[in-house]
Chains A and B, each alone.
Chain A
């Protein structure tokens, strides 16, 4: 595997479910990011991790909980989501926080 991978690619969940999104980067980067992409809106930054430390939490509701166990892996834990949380969730990584970011293919999330 090369680049940034995300699993699952598609996820359908009910509002009472708990699920997790996984991101893995094979680029040796030190920074990882979660973005939300909704239709007709610009990409919204959710969280930034640098060397496994969270450095940005962009006013994201607590029903989204990130976890970065090491510099190669990033998770987004989901619980009690709302239908308006349905979107494409993108993971990205960069060498360090000031370098260009490389994106994974995304997880298409549908909340019923």
Chain B
């Protein structure tokens, strides 16, 4: 079945550093979504991408939909302590007809003040 490989699995960085994480798949997706989850809460949507090559920003966050439609990356610039959490990518295929999203395993981000 479809799978997403998300890397890195975890990151421990200094406040102010930039962060980059990515997701790759052997399958093609029509939608890429990036979520952040904090302890005790559900995932919160950060950025949605709908077109191959699309580059979208949300504040200090920037995400891109890969040209091959098999990958996506998320960058966080000038990290701050509240960026701590688990970041998930999710790929969607409209052809599935059910809205099914395939999720990556998550990247755990820790930021040292």
| Closest-CB distance, B4 to chain A (whole angstroms) | 7
Closest-by-CB residue of B relative to A54 is B98
Cα(A33)–Cα(B90), bound, Å: 15
A41 to B97, CA, bound (A): 24
CB B21 to nearest CB in A, in angstroms, measures: 15
A104 and B101 CA atoms in complex are apart in Å by 16
Instruction: List residues of chain B with CB within 8 A of the CB of A90.
Output: 42-43
Q: Would B98 and A97 count as touching, CB distance under 8 A?
A: yes
Chain A residues touching B, range:
20 to 34
Q: Is B76 on the interface with A (CB-CB < 8 A)?
A: no
B33: Cβ under 8 A from any A Cβ: yes
Query: From residue B77, how far is it (CB to closest CB) to chain A in Å?
Result: 23
- 18 additional A-B pairs beyond A96-B99, A97-B99, beta carbons within 8 Å, are A33-B99, A42-B4, A42-B102, A42-B105, A42-B106, A43-B90, A45-B101, A48-B98, A50-B98, A50-B99, A56-B98, A94-B99, A98-B94, A99-B99, A100-B31, A101-B33, A103-B42, A106-B42
Name 23 interchain pairs, CB-CB below 8 A, sorted by A.
A6-B42, A41-B105, A42-B4, A42-B104, A43-B43, A43-B90, A43-B101, A45-B100, A48-B98, A50-B99, A56-B98, A90-B43, A97-B98, A97-B99, A98-B31, A98-B92, A100-B31, A101-B99, A103-B42, A103-B43, A105-B42, A106-B40, A106-B42
Report the nearest B residue to A41, measured CB to CB. B105
Q: How far is the CB of A49 from chain B (nearest CB, A)?
A: 10
Q: Does B73 contact A (CB under 8 A)?
A: no
A54 to chain B, nearest CB (A): 10
Q: Indicate if the CB atoms of A55 and B103 lie closer than 8 Å.
A: no
> Contacts A31-B99, A43-B88: A104 and B33 contacting too (C-beta < 8 A)?
no
The listed residue with most B CB atoms (<10 A of its CB), out of A40, A48, A50, A98, is: A98
